[in-house]
Amino acid sequence: MESRPKEFPILFSAGSSNLEEQCVDLLREHFNSAILSQIGYIQLFGSADVSGNLSKNRRLVKERVQIVERYLVSLGIGKDKIQKIFLEPGYGSNPEMRKRLRSVQIQYK
Instruction: Count how many Cα atoms sit within 13 Å of the Cα of residue 60 in the half-sphere of its side chain.
Output: 27
Q: What single-letter amino acid sits at 92?
A: G
Mean of pLDDT over the chain: 93
Question: What are the pLDDT digits (tens) for 54-102?
Answer: 999 999 999 999 999 999 999 999 999 999 999 999 998 899 999 999 9
What pLDDT score does 2 carry? 58
* Cβ atoms < 10 Å from Cβ of 60: 23
**pLDDT band for position 11 (cuts 50, 70, 90):** very high
Q: Report d(CA 59, CA 50) in Å as an integer.
A: 12
**pLDDT band for position 1 (cuts 50, 70, 90):** very low
Q: Please, which residues have CB within 8 angstroms of residue 101's CB and are 6 or more apart in sequence?
A: 47, 48, 49, 89, 90, 92
